[in-house]
Amino acid sequence: MNTFFTKDELINYVFIISGSIILSLALVGFFLPNNIITGGTAGLALLLHFITPLTIGSLIALINLPLLIIGNKYLGKMFTIRTIITIILISLFIDLFSQIIKIETFIQDTILGAIFGGIFVGLGLSLVIKGNSSAGGSTIIAKIISSKTEIKAGQVILVIDIIIILSALFIFEDRTKILWSVISIYITAKMIDYILTGSLNKKVVYLVTQKTDELKQLITQELGPEGTILKGEGLFENQEKKMILIVVEVTKLQRLRQIVRQSDPDAFLIITEASEMLGRGN
């Protein structure tokens, strides 16, 4: 069966089309009328739009397509094809909404424009990512740089966004709009994180104790049977150590602390965020 017409690939394009529409509406309805910018290619296109006669859609295409040609070997064939289609869709939708349909401004207010624009862009990009694609731009540059250096892709994207924000200082006279642009980018990042990883109400707990068997029984009775006992050696030679690894709901953390305090005062807990969970029960 042709790769483009599999069920999974069709689902990818449903996400891509939906995300492209939402992202385009955010730029046209929130950012453009309030002179606010966002990160990545969209932000750069908005900046250039304010100083050139070119449309935002055409600028997005002009910026991204050369990058795609350069970064093709770093992205993979299908990912590159999806990204090209995503960029074309975003470019077309932006110019359709702003130049042809000429949709009305959603809100003429810097603060609300930054907040809701950030939410919409985050939602749109999340759907594009769920479609195994990208909106190009900084993602492509980040992949190229991270493949040739030890710099992480996330750091590259952050630097690009900072450069775009700093560039806005030379275009916008109102500095408050630039600060609200920074907040909008932060909201977008949090929105993407929330949608892609979910809102987890659980913590990962490492329990180091000499009373593994006793605490194992109490935890199983009080909190549930899921968990793992890790065995290893301490820094001193032949010093055997055991650790209980469990995932606990936030509401049960206090009960876990009480169990440990009563059973083994010398034990200690290491509690971390469960940013994403996959597999049985999730």
Grouping H, G, I as helix, E, B as strand and the rest as coil, residue 226 is coil
Give the residue from 244, 181, 202 showing the smallest Cα distance to 47.
181
Total domains in the fold of the chain: 2
Q: How far apart are CA 163 and CA 40, in angstroms?
A: 10
Report if residue 176 sits inside a domain.
Answer: yes
Q: Is the pLDDT reported for residue 90 higher than 60?
A: yes
Q: What is the DSSP letter of 105?
A: P
CB 28 within 8 A of CB 97: yes
The 8-class DSSP code of residue 171 comes to T
Mark whether 150 and 224 lie in a shared domain: no
Q: Are residues 72 and 13 in the same domain?
A: yes
Q: Is the model's pLDDT at 274 over the cut of 80?
A: no
Using the predicted structure, report yes or no on whether residue 196 has a pLDDT greater than 60.
yes
- Predicted confidence (pLDDT) at residue 177 exceeds the cutoff of 50: yes
CA atoms within 13 A on the CB side of 134: 22
What is the predicted pLDDT for the residue at 280? 47
The answer to whether the Cα torsion of 187, 190, 194, 195 is positive or negative is positive
Whether the predicted pLDDT of 124 surpasses 80: yes
Mean pLDDT value of segment 33-58:
85
The reported pLDDT for the residue numbered 96 is 92
Determine the pLDDT at residue 281: 45
pLDDT beyond 70 at 101: yes
Shared-domain flag, residues 73 and 136: yes
My answer on whether 167 and 208 are in the same domain is: no
* C-alpha 248 chain-centroid distance: 25
Output 220 or 116, whichever has higher pLDDT.
Answer: 116
Alpha-carbon span 276 to 130, nearest angstrom: 15
Is the domain of 95 the same as that of 189?
A: yes
- Residue 41's pLDDT is 82
Do residues 66 and 136 share a domain? yes
Between helix 153-168 and helix 138-148 the angle, nearest 10°, is 130
What digits encode the pLDDT tens for the residues 59-76? 888 888 887 777 777 767
Residue 210 within a domain:
yes
Enter the tokens of residue 8: 């999974």
Residue 146, CA distances (Å) to 123, 152, 189 in order: 26, 5, 20
Provide the residue range defining the domain that includes 76.
3-197
Distance, first Cα to last Cα, the chain: 32
Mean pLDDT of all residues in the chain?
80
